[in-house]
Amino acid sequence: MEPGNPKPIKLDQFLKWVGVAATGGQAKVMIQAGEVRVNGEVVTQRGRKLKPGDRVTVGGQSFTVDLLDSAS
């Protein structure tokens, strides 16, 4: 991986990382139920790749994606 080129993270992984979902299965259910928005739009694909600056909203909480490159 080149420096400054962050590895993408999938939506379900992001929900686990920020602590909204305890497991991948829980994240999948939340996403498929239409409870998750990315940049204001409902997303039902758990494999949706997020990029820095994307805004994820679920359960009244909002998170901004801020990925660090693997060289950091």
DSSP assigned state of 23 = S
Cα separation of 3 and 10, whole Å?
20
In a domain, 3, yes or no: no
**For 2-29, how does the pLDDT look when each residue is reduced to its tens digit (9 = 90+)?**
455 667 899 999 999 999 999 999 999 9
Nearest to 37 by CA among 61, 8, 18, 16: 61
In a domain, 70, yes or no: no
Q: Is pLDDT above 50 for 70?
A: no
In a domain, 52, yes or no: yes
Tally of domains within the chain: 1
In a domain, 36, yes or no: yes
In a domain, 71, yes or no: no
Query: In which domain, by residue range, is 27 found?
Result: 9-64
Residue 50: CATH number of its domain: 3.10.290.10
Q: Which positions ≥6 away from 4 have C-beta within 8 Å? A: 69
The answer to whether the pTM exceeds 0.85 is no
